[in-house]
Structure 1
Amino acid sequence: MPRAKTRKEKPQGAPPSVVPVLQQFLKTYQKHCAQSGTSPCPTIQRDLKNSIDREQILRKFTLVRAGDATARHPPVSLEPLLMAIRDERYTLGRELCVWGLQLTNPEIARLALFLESKGHTTCPVTTLEIISCKMDLWSLGRLGRALQFSSLYFLALDYCKFGNKELESIFSGLENNQRLQGLSLRYCGLGPQSGQRLGSVISQSAVCELHLDGNDLQCSGTLALLRPIAEYAEMQGKDQPASASPHTGNLPLLPQVCGGRSSTLSQIAKSSEAVTMKRTSQRKRGERGIRKKVKRLMEAGPWVVMLHLADNSIDGTGVEGEQLLELTGTLTRLIKYSPHLRELDLGNNVLGETAAADILGALRARKTGKLPPLKITVTPRISSDTFTAIWKHSKKSNRTRKRKKKVKN
């Protein structure tokens, strides 16, 4: 008979196993679901069980809707998960993702309290994604107020449709926010009137990674967003040599997000961080470079590192198209002078041949000025020569090639 597989014994002094922690967390989560009359999220349970089997820390919680709610299968709720994190003092989670739920006011209230407990909780999440969820005006206002006191570095509210009042509720929590650095509002129904408000938020906060794909900013909204950023870049570029980028130097590192109230979880977390740092140091510098740099930048101001504006109806048609020329000038100034900008996505916007030629000229001037390379995406609906030239001047993704092992004779 084949022998049963046995787990290898850990050497003395090794950190404690994370398996008992995850098993207890799963039991607590299921208990809170039963007490609240809601269904456990299949994705949460699957991820926990997979992490238990692999003896790995679960960093990301993904809460998704599980079919249509019935009397036999009640809806999935966010509250039991937050209560389990609180009760078990789970200090190892970093990302919380909520997909496709109808979030109630009590759920948002508990989430807001969870985010606001920066000084009390042992390990607040640093990434929050609320994707394609429905929230009323009160919930958005409560969430917006919590952003000022949270430890979030990245917030995504993609596919959540917002009106002017709803947007104002969110933007009020972003003003003068010195911690949040990444914001994603893709396919949120933002119109031209949102551009000026977005520009104001960028100017007064630490947000430097902005994803706005799939909205309807058009020329006027995009111009209002980019104007303060381009003016700042031009002023900085003319005041100092191109080689002395204002973003270089001793930048503050992100603070530690684990307080270590639980000794067992603290030891597990320290061991995991040591392994992560070792693996990160072995990677090449280009891999995921933008996200790493964004996490190091803390200074507020009207500048961006990553800007995605794909599919925003930016073209030369209609009344909005009359501002395309001014927008092109603003774009070229940003490309030419900004040492911070590393990625710009203008795909699915028909800028036209003249605007594309101006962008190509700005890319050449950027190279002449010895600014950092810029990864840029434009629509192919221009002449092949211009498109190819822009593509050649754009920074290419770094793909590491596998080295062939030398065969010893």
Structure 2
Amino acid sequence: MPREKEGKQKTKGTPLPIIPILQKFLKAYEKHCAQTQTSVCPAIKQDLKTSINNERILRKFMLVRPRDSPPSTLPISLEPLLITIQDECYMLGKEICIWSLQLSNPEIARLASLLELKGRACPFTSLELIDCRMDLWSLRRLGRALLGSCLHSLVLDYCRFGNEEIESIFSGLEHNQRLQVLSLRYCGLGPQSGPRLGAIISQSSICELHLDGNYLQCSGAVALLRHIAEYAEMQGRDQPATSPPVPKSPPQQLQVRQKGSSTLNQTTKSPGAVTRKTTSGKERRKGIKKKMKDLTEAGPWLVKLYLADNGIDGKGKEGENGLLEFTQILMCLITYSAHLREIDLGNNVLGETAAAHILEALRARKTGKLPILKIIITPQVSSDTFKSIWKNTKKSSITRKKKKKTKY
């Protein structure tokens, strides 16, 4: 029985046998590499062969330059891979990840054109360009493609950006309503990036933001969080005193990912949907859900926020006043945001006063019956405060025992 079930899972969504498709793809990829006088990426070739041997669909393409390749070896290029994906109409891949490559203008132009085709010829919902080098023209072209792409996740970690370069990316994210995960770790962002990022997050569907290893400092972090904190406070204060705050209209994709979160599932059921039980009603609702699959609403839906190692302390030119302002904004966000689940402030020297305020906000959050918030701060505070914060960011053992009992 288990083998029969496994076979069904493999063939689901793939009307044609996967082995011939992947074999043909590999042959075409090698041909295009030869035509463009570039090297076949060993990682992609290995992943294709593994997928063929295991009879599995290849969902993620990893384009990586081998560390031990001699200088005389032909360069690895993105272009042959993209040409193969288009020529073979390979719609089964979902992620494309490129590591440590110098990307030329033609390569970015082809990638951008593919992203702009959306679901018609571009299956990708996740793009990772990690430690890649691109010039200003390439970043502007990529930024324009982000406006109409179907990406749900964008990772640009370790790509060093100047003001003009990062502005090209921001302009593409400004009106993007599909992106849910944005990662800009170690990209050289300074305080001036805070206001732009804050405006984008507050008007988008981004629910996971990774900004570790930049230098936003207090002013940049305040500008980033101000609109989100104000929105959370407005929602929290509008709720009746007897009930916990409930977020309004979270993104549809987020609801699917956060099935265990009661506060993030409020819009999945309407009163009409609960009472109507006819077959036609079920079909109608199914059709509506299908149409809504890729639609998300704009708004501050931040669930995970990573701000580790960003120079958020009282040591810069902003001094203690800047740290105090940041702490007040953070307290507001912790106290009122029903969406928020995780904050990482590690390697920022917040100090004892800021840590005490965070503890106060966590207790207020608990009183307001909001979901547990996991928060990481530097241990450079008193042991009592640090332990109290840790205790307020974990679920009680009583709840765990109850859950275990219900299973048996």
- What TM-score do you get using the length of structure 1 for normalisation? 0.81
Deviations 1:212-248 (A, max 9, x none): 0000011111111111111111111111245351247
1:38-57 residue pairs with structure 2 within 5 A? 38-57=38-57
| Residue identity in the other structure for 2:319 | G
- Aligned position for 2:66: 66
Deviation of residue 124 (structure 1)? Answer: 1.9
Q: Secondary structure at the match of 1:376?
A: strand
- Aligned position for 1:243: 244
| Residue identity in the other structure for 1:312 | N
- Aligned position for 1:213: 212
Deviation of residue 31 (structure 1)? Answer: 0.5
- Aligned position for 1:335: 334
Deviation of residue 253 (structure 1)? Answer: 4.8
| Residue identity in the other structure for 2:175 | N
In structure 1, stretches of 5+ residues that fail to align are 1-9, 255-276, 404-409
Deviations 1:182-212 (A, max 9, x none): 1000000001111111111112222221100
User: CA contact under 8 A between 2:112 and 2:141: conserved in structure 1?
Assistant: yes
1:60-209 residue pairs with structure 2 within 5 A? 60-67=60-67, 72-121=72-121, 123-209=122-208
User: CA contact under 8 A between 2:143 and 2:170: conserved in structure 1?
Assistant: yes
Deviation of residue 321 (structure 1)? Answer: 2.5
* Corresponding position: 1:318 with 2:316: yes
Q: Secondary structure at the match of 1:216?
A: coil
User: CA contact under 8 A between 2:156 and 2:184: conserved in structure 1?
Assistant: yes
- Aligned position for 1:309: 307
Deviation of residue 297 (structure 1)? Answer: 8.7
| Residue identity in the other structure for 1:81 | L
- Aligned position for 1:36: 36
Same amino acid, percent of matched pairs: 66
More helix by share: 2
Write the distance in 1 (CA, Å) between the matches of 2:65 and 2:344.
31
Deviation of residue 69 (structure 1)? Answer: 7.0
Q: Secondary structure at the match of 1:334?
A: helix
Write the distance in 1 (CA, Å) between the matches of 2:295 and 2:203.
14
Deviation of residue 317 (structure 1)? Answer: 1.0
Cα distance 1:82–1:314, how it changes in 2: closer, same or farther (>3 A)? same
- Aligned position for 1:385: 384
Cα distance 1:49–1:397, how it changes in 2: closer, same or farther (>3 A)? farther
**Count of residues in correspondence between the two structures:** 358
Cα distance 1:345–1:397, how it changes in 2: closer, same or farther (>3 A)? farther
User: CA contact under 8 A between 2:60 and 2:96: conserved in structure 1?
Assistant: yes
- Aligned position for 2:298: 300
Q: Secondary structure at the match of 1:172?
A: helix
- Aligned position for 1:252: 252
Q: Secondary structure at the match of 1:44?
A: helix
Cα distance 1:392–1:124, how it changes in 2: closer, same or farther (>3 A)? same
User: CA contact under 8 A between 1:247 and 1:340: conserved in structure 2?
Assistant: no
Write the distance in 2 (CA, Å) between the matches of 1:339 and 1:296.
23
Write the distance in 2 (CA, Å) between the matches of 1:365 and 1:296.
36
User: CA contact under 8 A between 2:38 and 2:75: conserved in structure 1?
Assistant: yes
Write the distance in 2 (CA, Å) between the matches of 1:303 and 1:324.
25
Deviation of residue 68 (structure 1)? Answer: 7.4
Alpha-carbon RMSD: 2.9
User: CA contact under 8 A between 1:232 and 1:303: conserved in structure 2?
Assistant: no
Deviations 1:43-97 (A, max 9, x none): 0001111111111111100101134776751100000111111111111101000
| Residue identity in the other structure for 1:18 | I
Cα distance 1:296–1:376, how it changes in 2: closer, same or farther (>3 A)? farther
User: CA contact under 8 A between 1:305 and 1:341: conserved in structure 2?
Assistant: yes
User: CA contact under 8 A between 1:129 and 1:157: conserved in structure 2?
Assistant: yes
Write the distance in 2 (CA, Å) between the matches of 1:147 and 1:31.
30
- What TM-score do you get using the length of structure 2 for normalisation? 0.81
Cα distance 1:296–1:347, how it changes in 2: closer, same or farther (>3 A)? farther
Write the distance in 2 (CA, Å) between the matches of 1:204 and 1:95.
25
- Aligned position for 2:286: none
Q: Which runs of 4+ in 1 moved over 6 A?
A: 68-71
| Residue identity in the other structure for 1:367 | K
Write the distance in 2 (CA, Å) between the matches of 1:370 and 1:163.
43
Cα distance 1:195–1:226, how it changes in 2: closer, same or farther (>3 A)? same
- Aligned position for 1:357: 356
